[in-house]
Amino acid sequence: MRIPIVAGNWKMNKTVEEARSLAFELSRKLREIEGVEKVLCPPFPALLAVSALLQGTDIGLGAQNLHWEEKGAFTGEVAPNMVAEFCKYVIIGHSERRAYFGETDETVNKKVRAALVHDLTPIICVGESLDENESGRTGEVVRRQISLGLADVNPAKAAGLVIAYEPVWAIGTGRASSGENANAVLADHIRPALADLFGAETAQAIRIQYGGSVTGANAVEFFGQPEIDGALVGGASLKVDDFVAITQAAAK
Ligand code: PGA
């Protein structure tokens, strides 16, 4: 059985002080919820403070990005071992990074492999744009993102990957996909693409989240679907009650 995983992507929000206070409020309520893996992903400057706060809880910490090189002259970048000092998880290939910062399936692939070397759990984002969706190319797009993004990943580590299916048109728009539609993309395209790479058994073990305008109100619809193993949450992860409700809805 796959244990559901709910991760909060705080994006570029919260100073260190604000992050500390949000993480404190969240941890008080989240620590009581069992049967779901819980992850907070604050911005880089807040990782140290939030990691101290989460010590001794079962709430994991994640970064929102990393660079694939080990060290060196890469101004402004953060190396995998620096992320691994504080974090167990790292979000890779979010559609905002693909759209605004030039990430490609190839850079996603380098980042995923670098993360695994450092025993980080990558949360790899895939998903189609509105245009791709409307022209019936959803399957083709997510299959390409999976096959190129996860090429040459060590099969022994593949079962530990987390995929986030996030249709770009649903992110931050308040226009979530339906549970049924999202489930169909996972069943028809994402899990089969994972099976092509790693075999059916490993593909069954890999957790696939849904992301895109998930709220406390619509979470149940997604988690009732057989293929959906949790959520990657943006806007609602900054609201304590909403994020707690989403986490509760995911708990098995
Ligand atoms: P949203 O963002 O929940 O605000 O739509 C999701 C994401 O970008 O991961």
Read off the pLDDT of residues 35-54 as tens digits, 9 standing for 90 and up.
999 999 999 999 999 999 99
Per-residue confidence (pLDDT) for residue 156, from 0 to 100 = 94
Answer for the pair 128, 147: CB distance below 8 angstroms, yes or no: no
Choosing from 5, 6, 9, 125 the residue with most ligand 1 atoms within 8 A of its CB, the one to mutate for a pocket test is 9
Compute CA distances 1 → 30, 113, 204, 229, whole Å. 22, 25, 9, 10
Per-residue confidence (pLDDT) for residue 1, from 0 to 100 = 86
Say if residue 247's pLDDT is above 90. yes
Return the sign of the alpha-carbon dihedral for residues 176, 177, 178, 179. negative
Among all residues, which ones are annotated catalytic?
A: 94, 166
Per-residue confidence (pLDDT) for residue 168, from 0 to 100 = 97
Q: What are the strands, taking DSSP E only, across 101-213?
A: 121-126, 162-165, 207-211
Take atom 6 of ligand 1 and give the residue whose Cα is closest: 234
From the number of C-beta atoms within 10 Å of its C-beta (0-12, 13-18, 19+), residue 181 rates as: middle
Side-chain-side CA neighbours of 86 within 13 Å: the count stands at 26
